[in-house]
Amino acid sequence: MTDPQNPAATTEGWTEPRATAVLVLADGTVLEGFGLGAVGEATGEVCFNTAMTGYQEILTDPSYARQIITFTFPHIGNVGTNDEDIETVNAAAHVGAIGCIVAAPVTDPSNWRAARRLDAWLKARGVVGLGGVDTRALTALIREKGMPNAVIAHDPKGAFDLDRLKREAAAWPGLVGMDLVPGVTATQRYEWSETDWRWPEGYGQRAAARHHVVAIDYGMKRNILRLFAGRDCQLTVMPATATADEIFALNPDGVFLSNGPGDPAATGEYAAPVIRAILERGIPTFGICLGHQMMALAIGASTHKMHQGHHGANHPVKEHATGKVEIVSMNHGFAVDPKTLPANAKETHVSLFDGSNCGIALTDRPAFSVQHHPEASPGPRDSHYLFDRFVEMMDKAKEKKAA
């Protein structure tokens, strides 16, 4: 069956007589395939994601800014897309991955919630797609050589200036030293009350509020806010450039540091001093992903670029205190160096894949953070307890203040 918005994509397979999309790596390697999604070019870093579900949430995660995602699971697009499974808070803002690489042809969706085919949805969002390549070979290349800089290009006529694309891929500086948060953060303060999705009602609305949480938006995901709202938290979201005084003026019971893209060291130049002031006030603080790295930088630790990063929904993480192993979702290309943590911080979680740091907690302040995504939707829910832990931390802080 032919898609009227992309006649070349059929359920029978890729049918173009010649390559209509290419991935050109910085080392000159060229991978040819068939185009889907938007026509044009995009330059960024190539990573691979091992999740078998949730491709729409993945592609709209602001943490993937300037990244081209290779999906290792072959059947991407088989449940279509809808208007609800978007992680970008502003659904109209096309924030997230800039490129998408798949192995098998995008089929007609088979899901009662589907509203549009994946390829048409990618086109509407301006995401360049490449299909029909050996994603296993590309994944092996990334594991061996690291995440490469590249240009992904789609031209229905198959007319590519490969020499120019090679020069552009080689000239792109990469994510190290790049602050991408200004392109994904909120432009102004706003409130949030939507709760998490439940069958058969769908998304709900918070009724009462026990705590007021100020969330600093470095590239916020919707489901993080939903899980807070579902725990009776009033949420005020602030731009990444919010000052400590602006946050203190709201008199929050707790502060949340969100996920986000880019090099944490670059964002930390303006974010770390604000977080340091929050911690010095003793306000309960919780960070996820980039927010975890921001907290580490605020207390004097450092971060480093990873070889291949962690991107997927099947990562085993061990909590030191309990010995429990959680299966979690991850999306990060930088990590906190646990050797640089100060004396008042302890490592709480560690990746069982490579031993990298996945969590810290302060011993003299009510503050903790994790590298993984406990809010993952869809995905494992092993780490939802971290939201309860933060609520309990705010409860204790209020009790202490009232005593």
Reading across the β-sheet that carries 254-257, which strands appear in turn? 190-192, 233-239, 211-217, 254-257, 285-288, 367-370, 357-362, 345-351, 303-319, 325-336
Residue at token pair 């792109």: 172
Could you tell me where the DSSP H helices lie in 318-377?
Answer: none
pTM of the model as a whole: 0.95
Tokens at residue 281, please? Answer: 């006030």
Question: Does domain 2-171 sit in CATH 3.40.190.80?
Answer: no
- Residues 278, 285, 94, 191: is their CA dihedral positive or negative? negative
**What letters, b where the CB count within 10 A reaches 16 and e where it falls short, cover 4-37?**
eebebbbeeebeeeebbbbbbbbeeeebbbbbbb
Residue 245 to residues 211, 274, 278, Cα–Cα distance (Å): 20, 9, 9
Sequence-distant (6+) residues with CB within 8 A of 323 are: none
pLDDT for the residue numbered 92: 67
Sequence-distant (6+) residues with CB within 8 A of 167 are: none
| Whether 41 contacts 149, CB under 8 Å | no
pLDDT for the residue numbered 1: 29
**One fold for 2-171 and 181-402:** no
**Domain spans of the chain, in order of start:** 2-171, 181-402
Pairing status of strand 40-49 against strand 149-154: antiparallel
Active-site positions read 289, 373, 375
Could you tell me where the DSSP H helices lie in 69-193?
Answer: 118-125, 135-145, 162-171
> What is the distance between the alpha carbons of residues 25 and 242, in angstroms, rounded to a whole number?
38
Residue 294 to residues 1, 15, 63, 242, Cα–Cα distance (Å): 49, 47, 14, 14
Residue 284 to residues 18, 91, 268, 287, Cα–Cα distance (Å): 57, 30, 20, 10
Residue at token pair 């602030």: 238
Residue 397 to residues 254, 366, 393, 402, Cα–Cα distance (Å): 9, 8, 6, 9
Helices (H) and strands (E) in the chain, counts: 9, 20
Strands (E), 253-352: 254-257, 285-288, 303-319, 325-336, 345-351
Residue 164 to residues 93, 133, 160, 168, Cα–Cα distance (Å): 30, 22, 9, 6
What is the identity of the amino acid at 260? G
What are the per-10-residue average pLDDT scores of the chain (403 residues)?
35 73 98 97 98 96 98 96 92 87 94 95 97 96 98 97 98 98 96 93 92 98 97 98 98 98 98 98 98 98 98 97 97 98 98 98 98 91 96 96 86
Bond before 378 cis per omega within 30 degrees: yes
> What is the distance between the alpha carbons of residues 63 and 333, in angstroms, rounded to a whole number?
10
| Whether 11 contacts 110, CB under 8 Å | no
- Residues 268, 95, 224, 314: is their CA dihedral positive or negative? negative
The CATH classification number of 181-402 equals: 3.40.50.880
